[in-house]
Amino acid sequence: MSNERNGAVTLKGNPITLMGPELKVGDKAPDFVCDQGLAPSVSLQDMGNNIKVFNVLLSIATPVCQAQTRKFNEELGTLGGNLEAYIVSTDLPMSHKTWCGAEGIELIKGISDYKENIFGTSYGVLMKDHKLLCRAVFVIDQDNIIKHAEYVNEISEEPDYDSALSVIKTLL
């Protein structure tokens, strides 16, 4: 694969190589295809002209990823508007549904990049050696332009919620 970014982030201080480009504010959001379980696959184009928040996780089974999802669900739930939020990870789609159902998470939908890692390589979040996605947050406007991109430097830490939320509020 091309576009290896050696040491782009760390996991507990250990450098991690990410695959794909480092996307920046102002870039056109790349299209992708992710799995939704028994429902049809979904792409960026299928998501229409809503504001989109991609809550990118290693695994919904880990405490930090769960905390991140709870926080975004809580904060985004107070905003309303033309907004769609997604968990994106390489977990099986059923894992998202099971955890979200048990936790009462209804706002954020789970989409899975486990089959072909198209999201991971298009958004530059696929960890080369682990085939998991690193922690990141992307906010995409109605025209599919990236308005916020955070690759969390230390994967074991939570993202900068305030920065993402302030961008989201300006778009609503």
The count of C-alpha atoms lying within 13 angstroms of the C-alpha of 149, restricted to the half-sphere facing its C-beta, is: 16
Tokens of 13: 């201080």
In the sheet with 4-11, reading across from the earlier edge strand, the strands are: 4-11, 14-19, 126-127
Give the residue carrying structure tokens 């789609």. 93
Contacts 24+ apart (CB under 8 A), 90-97: 90/59, 90/114, 90/117, 90/120, 90/131, 90/132, 90/133, 91/57, 91/59, 91/60, 91/61, 92/37, 93/35, 93/36, 93/37, 94/37, 95/59, 95/60, 95/61, 96/60, 97/37
Give the residue carrying structure tokens 């989409």. 111
Tokens of 129: 């050696």
34, 65, 100, 134: which is the annotated catalytic residue? Answer: 65
34 as an active site residue: the answer is: no
Give catalytic residue positions: 65
